[in-house]
Amino acid sequence: MNPSNENELTLAVLERLEGATDPRFAQIMASLIKHLHAFLRDVDLKPDEWMNGIQFLTAVGQACTDKRQEFILLSDTLGASMMVVMLDQARALAQGRTGAKATEATEATVQGPYYWEGAPEQPLGANIAEGVAGEPTFYSGRITDTSGKPLQGALLDIWSGDGEGNYDMQIEGAEMAARARIRTDEQGRYWYWSIQPSYYPVPVDGPVGRMLGGMGRHPNRPGHIHMMVSAPGHVPVTTHLFVANSPYIDSDAVFGVRPSLIVDYEKHPAGKAPDGRVMDQPYWSAHYDFCLAPRQA
């Protein structure tokens, strides 16, 4: 079919998917084509605006290196990554659902670019941020299933930036810091020491930074500590805990904050901490209970 108007053009492009052998690919491309065409028509995109878009996307692609993924940053800052996370968790919980409580599983958020596989296993109570800049914080809580049953030996794979907003990975040749894998005790409890992470900006020296500027947006993420939480037979979750009183807590540049993941950091004077450690300086504590949905057999 040769299209003589805008509606026929969209139909003609869709029609050309008839030869696709992978039905899922055809489904994805059909939806993409419909939304792309609808977007162009909704805004009545002009040729110079289209060319700006072409040049922007080209610059995003060319800013990508083996150390930088500007398209993921674009996806993050447009909320697309977080949407994929939400959809993925909903799908996983629907598949793993064994009862009405499955929706109470700990909510997921974006993984971000700073995960480093193979963090050291540490015992309960360890300070996983020895020598890392930042105010000491005692982290504790429990990991249970959605019926409230404690999960012994559940794994917390933890990582964060430091108290000044820098990740180990951002420093050329740096060793792992503020990262550990910790397992719960027989009562599903975990506790460890780290620092209170600071807010920090996403990279703004590329095209996505210029886009944020045009939108009048700041590039910052509020302070947060990442964890992947898993236990055999349960749906794992990749999430963060967010520092409640952090700047930008209501305007995360990548839309990763969910109300259920915001944690109050409580300040304490120097002295004996809950785990018996004697602190010679003030410290913080943060308490959070994780909840994993059983996986369907």
Pick one of 23, 46, 118, 269: the residue that binds a copy of itself (CB under 8 A). 46
Please report, as residue ranges, which positions from 70 to 109 form the binding site for a copy of itself (by CB under 8 A): 71-72, 75, 78-88, 91, 107
Q: How far is the CB of 19 from a copy of itself (least distance, A)?
A: 2
Residues 195-254 that bind a copy of itself (CB under 8 A): 214-217, 249-252
**Is 144 a residue that touches a copy of itself (CB under 8 A)?**
no
Cβ atoms of residues 272 and 265 within 8 Å: no
Q: Which of these ranges, 138-146, 162-170, 189-197, 255-263, lies near a copy of itself under the rule CB under 8 A?
A: 255-263
- By CB under 8 A, what part of segment 114-143 binds a copy of itself? none
Binding mask 3-32 for a copy of itself (x = CB under 8 A): xxxx--xx-xx--xxxxxxx-xxxxxx-xx
Piece of 59-67, 147-155, 160-168, 193-201 that binds a copy of itself (CB under 8 A) = 59-67
* Cβ closest to a copy of itself, residue 3 vs residue 153: 3
Q: Which is nearer to a copy of itself, 87 or 270 (CB)?
A: 87
Nearest to 229 by CA among 176, 151, 139: 151
Least distance between a copy of itself and beta carbon 4 (Å): 5
Give the interface segment with a copy of itself, choosing from 46-54, 125-133, 138-146, 175-183 (CB under 8 A). Answer: 46-54
